Every structure is written in C-alpha cells, then in structure tokens.
Structure 1
Amino acid sequence: MQIQYKTNRLRITRLQRTDLNALNQLLSDPIIRDLSGLQLPADNAQRLLALSMVTPEPYIFVLKLVGTDELIGMFGFYQCYRADFMISAHYRELGYLLGQKWWGNGYVAEAGNKLISDFFATTQYRYLCAGVMANNHRSQRVLTKLGLKQTSHPTELAASQFNDLEQYYQRDSLMMST
C-alpha cells in the first residue's frame, strides 16, 4: 500500500507520531472511543501511549481534510487471530473512526473505497471483516457502502474476538467494488 492517498476532500496518510496528539484529541470523546471498538484507556496520557504503540503498523491511516489538513478520523486494517490464536494470513479487521462533527458527510466511505481497493491489490489478504454494535445503524450503512455483507463471525477466527452485542460483516477480495 502507498503511504499517502488523496481524494477530492481528503488527504489519507499512514499514521505517524506527529498525528498522535490530534488523534488522541478525537478519542477524548467517550462516544467516539466507545464506538471505535478500540480498547483504549480513558486517561489522556495512557491513551496517547497506547496509540503510539500502533504507529509502526503499516495498514493504519489518518484522514485529513484537504486545504486545512485537520485530522478528522482514522481508518485501519487490523490483525485478526485464528482459533489457535495465531495471526490470520487471510483476514484483516476493518476499523475506522470519525469525529462527530464530520458524521453524515460520506468521509469514511470516500476513504474506504480508495483504501480497500488498494489493500486487496497490494496485499495477500483475501478477506476483510468488521464488527459493529447492533444499534450502530450509521456504521452498518457505511460497511454496506464499502461492499461488506452481513455474516456470522468468520469461522477461521478466534471466537473470543466476537461478542453477542455486535453484528459482523465481511468482504472477499474477489468481490466487485461498490
């Protein structure tokens, strides 16, 4: 995958240490923190430290507005674990977050369409999966726009990664982009 992408409204770059304070500020909103699914500390300093640990990950990106370069969200492809707790060679979990101020403007779908097609074209991964709270209808619509279909949790993956409060979505690398 590339280090940077651009759409009409977004500059999408790999997460860097210089992005951590702005990302941490977004995650200081407990609603965003809870909806993101990331298990991060509520304490500001501890959360910043936890975020710094994911900076080396090659498949985590931040979303910035073209023109102002304001960081408004994050989009990533996270490791998944098989039932034997080894890292899956076939699956990555799709995750994203967006500051409330920018909800409803199509930013996540815009970034996701760009990133997902390149992800499948440049990596060996065959599947993307995502879990979303059953009452988070906005996020369910975003996943559908990104070409993911509702499913039971992937059987290859460890059941401990899933819970009854979530609905699961999956996309195969062979599926046509929507």
Structure 2
Amino acid sequence: MLGELFFPVIETTRLRLKPLAIEDSACLLEIFSDPEVMRYWNTPPWVAMKEAYDFVNESKELMLRQESLVLGIYLKSTGKLVGKCMLFSYAKESKRAEIGFGLGRPYWGKGYINEAGEALIQYGFRSLGLRRIEAEIDPDNHASAKALVKLGLQQEGLLRQRWQINGVVSDSALYGRLVSDPI
C-alpha cells in the first residue's frame, strides 16, 4: 500500500500531478536548461538530454525506495508538462519532508505553484502522514518566498553561506509548515 502512495495522480482544478515518464525528458530539458529557472537552484542549468533522462530515472528510483515523491505538473487542458514538484528528504519516522518546485518560465505568475503546492502539501499531510513540510530557498528568491508564505509556510531561520554554485556563495532561508498550523 505504501509503495502506491509514492506513485499518485493528483488532480486540481487546472493541473494533473503525476510521476514523470521518460517521454517527458525533452520538456524537462527545455525547462531546466533555462538559466532564469535555475537561477536560485543549488545546481547549474542542465545542458544535455542525459541530465533529463537521469532525473526521470533517479526520481523513479527514489520513489520506489520511498525516499521522495517527484511529480510532473501537467496542464489538464493540454496535457503539457510545465514543471515539477517534489516532496523529498522524506523522513518517515520524523514525519517530515522538504517541498520543492520548478516551473517553466512561460508559466510563471499564473498561480500554478500555489495550486500544485497546496495539493502536494495536502497529499503529504493526509496520505503520507507528514507532520511537517519544510522548504529551503535562496533568500534573494523573492518569488519563491512569496509562494511559500502563500502556501502557509513560515520563515523559521537562515543558514549563512550554505551553498556555493559556480563560484557564487549564497545563504539559505528555511521555511516550515506543520499539519497543525492554521491556514
């Protein structure tokens, strides 16, 4: 039963969240090779189709091991893959996981992160039995900070000089939401 929990299809008003397929690799590469999409990530932009293939395959393996839940964000109206959302670093005993998102630039500002994010958070709380969902972002990423607050996460701390990507050192802002938090 738990294994099935890591391969859900979650429907929202405009979106379908479901596990990625190898056929999604070209769309994933298009999204995650964009330097603006990857500006605040802890990895550089993708440069080759192999990175997309590897991501899909690694995501499936993590889901089979029940360590992460990695879902594509698809528009219900067209079936197009527009991004991904994840519950990762799943700690079953501690009932916690981290949440993350990536969305293609043409789909920014349309409320898709809020819609997908709340659906994923509710799935984590209700189906996976999570007590806590966390996020870690670059504090300069104001759009992500705004989205997290809109999703009910509260900023809880700051880790100074946490990452160095391509020679750039950055801090990490930590956010959290408890199942018991009022929304």
TM-score using structure 2 length: 0.78
**Aligned counterpart in structure 2 of residue 137 of structure 1, from 125, 134, 142:** 142
SS of structure 2 residue aligned to 1:54: helix
Matched, 1:39 2:39: no
**Aligned counterpart in structure 2 of residue 170 of structure 1, from 159, 172, 176:** 176
Paired letter, 2:173: Q
Gap runs ≥5 in structure 1? 82-86, 154-158
Residue 31 of structure 1: CA displacement?
1.9
Residue 49 of structure 1: CA displacement?
4.0
Gap runs ≥5 in structure 2? 64-68, 164-169
Aligned pair count reads 166
Quick one: distance in 1 between partners of 2:129 and 2:34?
A: 35
Quick one: distance in 2 between partners of 1:80 and 1:119?
A: 10
Quick one: distance in 2 between partners of 1:41 and 1:107?
A: 22
Residue 38 of structure 1: CA displacement?
5.1
Quick one: distance in 2 between partners of 1:54 and 1:165?
A: 26
Deviations 1:89-124 (A, max 9, x none): 432111001111111111010011112112111114
Identity across matched positions, percent: 26
Deviations 1:66-87 (A, max 9, x none): 1211111111011168xxxxx9
Does the aligned pair in 1 maintain the 2:22–2:53 contact within 8 Å?
Answer: no
Paired letter, 1:66: K
TM-score using structure 1 length: 0.80
Quick one: distance in 2 between partners of 1:38 and 1:49?
A: 19
Quick one: distance in 1 between partners of 2:12 and 2:129?
A: 25
Q: How does 1:69-148 map to 2 (within 5 A)?
A: 69-79=79-89, 89-148=94-153
